[in-house]
């Protein structure tokens, strides 16, 4: 997919050499003021929405045992909480995360942060989601594609600063989603791996678009096509990670910084994010749709079936 093209500006502009110049300039200023007011209004939750899903200071909300949400110090924290399964994402966790993001979009926090419990950040999708699925493969594939499209859309549309605190290895969708985050802080023990070709799958979470933009087509190819695993330092050098911290000081340094960021003006940050992303949003939704449309074909392929059987075989030997 190509990068976003510039769209024509429909806002009236002042005409420099016109006998009615002052009047036109005044109308232009009024239009600009109204556009700004409309933008602020669109980013501010309605009074009805504001009364729903709010989290007060120090309030803890456990969406489920596998996704834990806390809200304090201006930060809503969404935690992958399956440490014995390397925080692999189940189908239920997809729903839990969507609910957590919906609530976080209208709560009192300034920023929203994802992190993991234990040694892993997240090992991606739990493949037993598909092994345990019932029904015809085509039906399962279509449902999977629809669920993924809705899930990724929640990240594309999220209005507040979205930060990943990558405390350990990240795999699959846990990596590809990072292209939709506003900042990514990583421990030096973190790694980033997208083994899609090994699994007979294609890239998702808009990574076929965001990764080439972030790191260039050659480096994106190494990750998405050839499954190269990146260290935290390599991911930083290629622009996927904002900053890397030593494991020994990671938690203290990152959370101290995020607490300071959470004291900044929430509405100003939302407006700035909207201005930075508005020309890309439709592109991202389009890419998400195309990537998800590939899923049924991939899931019906012999490559995918063989990869799933290999996974089951390895799991049985454990």
Q: Where are the alpha helices (DSSP H) in 110-216?
A: 128-131, 137-157, 173-176, 207-215
**In the chain, count of helices (H) and strands (E)?**
12, 10
The CATH number corresponding to 55-251+258-317 among 1.10.760.10, 3.90.226.10, 3.40.50.9100, 3.40.50.20 equals 3.90.226.10
Tell me the sheet residues that pair with 201.
Answer: none
Q: Which of 60, 37, 183, 51 is nearest to 113 (CA)?
A: 183
- Could you tell me the pLDDT band of residue 61, with boundaries at 50, 70 and 90? low
Q: Where are the alpha helices (DSSP H) in 12-90?
A: 21-43, 47-50
Q: Could you tell me the residue ranges of all domains in the chain?
A: 55-251+258-317
- Could you tell me the pLDDT band of residue 14, with boundaries at 50, 70 and 90? very low
Tell me the three state secondary structure of residue 122. Answer: strand
The 10s digit of each residue's pLDDT in 266-317 is 999 999 999 999 999 999 999 999 999 999 999 888 888 888 788 767 766 6
pTM reported for the whole predicted model: 0.80
Beta strands 162-166 and 183-187: pairing type? parallel
The 10s digit of each residue's pLDDT in 22-45 is 454 454 445 444 444 444 444 443
């Amino acid at each position: 997919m190509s990068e976003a093209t510039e769209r024509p500006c429909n806002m009236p502009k002042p005409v420099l050499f016109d006998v009615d110049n002052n009047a036109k300039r005044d109308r232009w200023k009024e239009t600009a003021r109204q556009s700004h007011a409309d933008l602020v209004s669109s980013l501010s939750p309605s009074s009805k929405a504001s009364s729903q899903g709010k989290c007060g200071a120090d309030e803890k909300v456990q969406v489920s045992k596998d996704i834990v949400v806390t809200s304090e110090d201006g930060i809503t924290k969404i935690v992958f909480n399956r440490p014995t399964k390397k925080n692999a994402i189940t189908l239920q966790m997809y729903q839990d995360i969507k609910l957590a993001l919906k609530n976080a979009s209208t709560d009192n926090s300034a920023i929203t942060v994802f992190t993991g419990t234990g040694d892993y950040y997240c090992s991606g999708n739990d493949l037993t989601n598909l092994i345990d699925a019932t029904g015809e493969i085509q039906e399962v594939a279509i449902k999977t594609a629809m669920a993924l499209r809705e899930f990724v859309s929640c990240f594309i549309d999220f209005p507040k600063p979205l930060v990943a605190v990558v405390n350990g290895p990240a795999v699959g969708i846990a990596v590809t989603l990072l292209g939709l985050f506003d900042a990514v802080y990583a421990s030096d023990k973190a790694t980033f791996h997208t083994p899609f070709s090994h699994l007979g799958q294609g890239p998702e979470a808009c990574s076929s678009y965001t990764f080439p933009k972030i790191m260039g087509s050659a480096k994106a190819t190494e990750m998405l096509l050839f499954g190269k695993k990146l260290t935290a330092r390599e991911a930083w050098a290629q622009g996927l990670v904002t900053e890397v911290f030593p494991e020994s000081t990671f938690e203290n340094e990152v959370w101290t910084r995020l607490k300071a960021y959470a004291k900044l003006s929430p509405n100003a940050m939302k407006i700035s994010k909207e201005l930075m992303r508005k020309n890309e949003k439709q592109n991202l939704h389009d890419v998400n749709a195309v990537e998800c449309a590939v899923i049924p074909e991939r899931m019906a392929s012999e490559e995918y079936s063989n990869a799933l059987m290999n996974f089951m075989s390895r799991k049985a030997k454990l």
